[in-house]
Amino acid sequence: MTGSTHAHADAPHEPVFVGKVREQLDALFPKYPTKQACLLPALWMVQEARGWISPAAMAEVADVLGLTPAYVRGVATFYTMYHLHPVGRHFIQVCGTSPCHLCGSDDVLKAILKATGCGELGATSADGRFTVVEVECLGACGFATPILIDDDFHDSVTPERVAGILARYP
Amino acid sequence: MGYPHPPHPKETVVLSKYFGDAEARTFDGWVKRGGYEALKKALGMTPDAIIEELKASGLRGRGGAGFPTGLKWSFMPKNDGKPHYLVCNADESEPGTFKDREIMRWTPHQLIEGCAIGAYAIGAETCYIYIRGEFTEPWKVMTAAVAEAYAKGALGGNVFGSGKRIDIVLHRGAGAYICGEETAMMNSIEGKRGNPRIKPPFPAQAGLFGMPTTINNVETLSSTSHILTRGAAWYKGLCLSNPKSTGTKLFSVCGHVMRPGNYELTMGFPMKDLIHDLAGGMRPGRRLKAVIPGGSSVPIMTAAEAEAALCDYEGIVEKGSMLGSAGFIVMDDSTDMVYEIWRLAKFYAHESCAQCTQCREGTAWTTKILERILRGQGKKEDLDLLLDLSDQMTGRTICVLSDSCAAPIVSGIKKFPEEFEAYLSRAKAPALAAV
Ligand SMILES: Cc1cc2nc3c(=O)[nH]c(=O)nc-3n(C[C@H](O)[C@H](O)[C@H](O)COP(=O)(O)O)c2cc1C
Ligand code: FES
């Protein structure tokens, strides 16, 4: 589940739901009374495979679940964790909600924006390595400041620890 | 990742007894610690007997509303021939709250056992555990534990040879605070946008996939196994103040304290001791200014109110706030209340599902007003406008997200007016750059 695949918005769409991924989805169907209930899991599978969810991938999801592409888009846009645009090789989420803000999350965010070369929130660094976003409460307020890099959770991050942590994500 | 502290002598460890004990994560390790005895016992009882036991224990929902759990389970129809569902709420997104995460990380089988007991008691064969998308580590731990529970016969078509079927399906959220609201969660599982539904119908009549459904928080379900093994009377006896608040509860403490973390306390424990003793008190030279005790969605308490309050449902109401999810956000005298209230309003504006006008417009508008106050561009009438908007945002919407945004604003203006005045009179330098 890493954001390591770097796809381009204009590349032709290679189907996601073939082979292993298709088997993964098929194994989910019996767990729900409707196919539609597999929509969030299916979108996760696309993101895991491709790093983001393109309009063509949404159309494919619609097709395998018997929904319309517009419906799938309507749902995908509701949830902030789905990337509807390509992002950097490593996706960094930094908590900025009040409990973490009280403990200095602003400084952590600044240090991360600087060290990654992203400069601003939501932007991808020129080398394509990082995208940084500020997110709301990560449910780990006692371990401020928590950050997520791809699927790895790091707690008690301070500006001083930023360089060492980022070095693990080439 | 380490961190669970050794239990403080004033804690009553039931749920958190094995936090930090990696062996407790495995099926065999859990069984060695007495795990799954409660489920086996439950399977030999009638569902009604289990519900009566829960009612007698006084257990109330730990997700925020404090609704009596036994009573909630008793609302489920009997012999209606329809599939029933149990939904476990592991969305834990309320700012200040981080207890369910620790239950899942350290004692996944404690939750699985509770879910299985709940499912059996309400006549459900399937329990969906909805885990917020950001909880990658709890997700991995839970996935491994569920697989192990199936392999050992604690889940599946014939649970411990009882002939009963109980399945657990983990469902991953994808970033939306509102999906913690019970009906939004049901829509989300169904593959829809996470919009809360109008009630009635209530979930017990028509919930997930239109079927009778019960939804409970992770901590609520995890508490059930202990009640079945040790008895309702024992649980009811865990009470230091009001008999309507029983048992132990995990209190998450964060913000300006020396030892943030989860503390498991008997209901009715003095908040003063929790903050100043267990959580280590303020940093050197700092004094307590305010506490938001219920996660961020409840009124702010002043230091005096907090220090006089008892930590249970009634004790906190008595001092002007609510227990909510028991995520204590502690603020010392270095805190800019206006700034933190703005940051919370921004949270709610970001998280509003935008169905209801009062919420969609109100959360965004109050955020903008607070922002202009912080930029040194506030107007004299802004406080009245904030209070008026907050009034319009309270008690008028499908769910209470809008009320939750208003609670810190109204209490903040009432209890810390001088901090707002300082910005409005330009006596204080702007905290945000002017635009
Ligand atoms: C906006 C909103 C967010 C909520 N978030 C959560 C949550 O993250 N976790 C939770 O357990 N309950 C949450 N709740 C409460 C649930 O709607 C529900 O009351 C609870 O899960 C019931 O379980 P309980 O009776 O065991 O407490 C939220 C409610 C609202 C209105
Ligand atoms: S506020 Fe940052 S994790 Fe909760």
The whole domain housing A126 covers: 90-166
Same domain for A18 and A64, yes or no, is yes
> Domain check: are A73 and A35 in the same one?
yes
pLDDT given at position A8: 56
Task: Report pLDDT digits (tens) over B180-211.
Answer: 999 999 999 999 999 999 999 999 999 999 99
A55 with A105, same domain: the answer is no
Q: pLDDT by residue (tens digit) across B266-284?
A: 999 999 999 999 999 999 9
Q: Model confidence at B6, in pLDDT bands (50, 70, 90)? A: confident
Ligand 1 binding site (Cβ under 6 Å of any ligand atom): B 61-65, 67, 89, 91-94, 178, 180-182, 215-217, 220, 399-401
**Pocket-testing residue among A102, A103, A141, A156, ligand 2, by greatest number of atoms within 8 A of Cβ:** A141
Tokens 């730990």 sit on residue: B62
Q: What CATH number does residue A98 fall under? A: 3.40.30.10
How far is it, in rounded angstroms, from Cα B54 to Cα B48?
A: 10
Confidence of residue B295 (pLDDT cuts 50, 70, 90): very high
Q: What is the pLDDT of residue A57?
A: 98
Quote the pLDDT of residue B320.
96
Which of A19, A48, A78 is where one domain is finished?
A: A78
Interchain CB distance below 8 Å, A65 and B255: no
Residue B3: what pLDDT? 64
Verify that A74 and A28 share a domain, yes or no.
yes
Tens digits of residue pLDDT in B94-124: 999 999 999 999 999 999 999 999 999 999 9
Inform me whether the pLDDT recorded for A9 exceeds 60.
no
Say which residues have a Cβ less than 8 Å from residue B148's Cβ, sequence separation at least 6.
B26, B27
Residue nearest to atom 1 of ligand 2 (CA): A137
Same domain, A96 and A70: no
pLDDT at B405 over 50: yes
Rounded to the nearest 10°, the torsion over CA B284, B289, B295, B299 is 180
How is B388-400 classified by DSSP, letter by letter?
Answer: HHHHHTSS-SSSS
Let me know whether A22 and A74 are in one domain.
yes
Pocket test for ligand 2, best of A100, A103, A155, A156 (most atoms within 8 A of CB): A100
CB count within 10 Å of CB B79 equals: 6
- What average pLDDT does chain A have? 94
A2 lies in a domain?
A: no
Q: Looking at the domain assignment, is residue A162 inside a domain?
A: yes
Predicted local confidence at residue B2, as pLDDT = 44
Contacts of B190 (CB under 8 A, 6+ apart): A34, A36, A37, B208, B209
Task: Tell me how long chain A is.
Answer: 170
Average the pLDDT over B144-152 and give the result: 98
Of the residues A35, A54, A78, the one at which a domain ends = A78
Average pLDDT over residues B384-391: 97
Q: How many domains does chain A have?
A: 2
Q: What is the pLDDT of residues B214-232, one digit of tens each?
A: 999 999 999 999 999 999 9
Mean pLDDT, residues B18-24 taken together: 95
**Residues A94, A59 share a domain:** no
| A96 and A147 assigned to the same domain | yes
Residues 6+ apart with CB under 8 A from B418: none
The contacts of residue B191 (CB under 8 Å, 6+ apart) are: A34, A36, A37, A38, A39, A40, A65, A67, A75
* Interval A127-168: pLDDT, tens: 999 999 999 999 999 999 999 999 999 999 999 999 999 999
Tokens of B360: 């969609």
Cα–Cα dist B302/B292, whole Å: 9
Closest to B216 measured CA to CA, from B398, B406, B59, B53: B59
Asked if residues A1 and A48 have their Cβ atoms less than 8 Å apart, the reply is yes
> In CATH, what number is assigned to the domain containing residue A52?
1.10.10.1590
Interval A85-142: pLDDT, tens: 999 999 999 999 999 999 999 999 999 999 999 999 999 999 999 999 999 999 999 9
pLDDT of res. B1: 36
A102 shares its domain with A61: no
pLDDT in tens, B347-383: 999 999 999 999 999 999 999 999 999 999 999 999 9
Could you give phi then psi for residue A96, rounded to 5 degrees? Answer: -130, 10
Can you read off the two tokens belonging to residue B149?
Answer: 């529970």
List C-alpha distances in Å: B372 to B171, B375, B378, B388. Answer: 40, 5, 5, 17
Q: What is the pLDDT, as a whole number, of residue B313?
A: 97
* Global model pTM greater than 0.80: yes
* Residue A1 within a domain: no
Residue of B nearest to A41 (CA): B172
Nearest to B292, CA basis, from B259, B260, B319, B331? B331
CA-wise closest residue to B380 among B368, B372, B391, B390: B372
Q: Is residue A52 domain-resident?
A: yes
Instruction: Report yes or no on A47 lying in a domain.
Output: yes
- pLDDT beyond 90 at A2: no
Could you tell me if A69 and A116 lie in one domain? no
Cβ under 8 Å to A: B residues 121-160: 126, 132-137
A49 and A104 housed in the same domain: no
Residue A83 in domain: no
Write out pLDDT tens, residues B298-334: 999 999 999 999 999 999 999 999 999 999 999 999 9
Whether A11 and A33 share a structural domain: yes
> Under 8 Å CB-to-CB from A134, ≥6 apart: which residues?
A93, A94, A95, A96, A109, A121
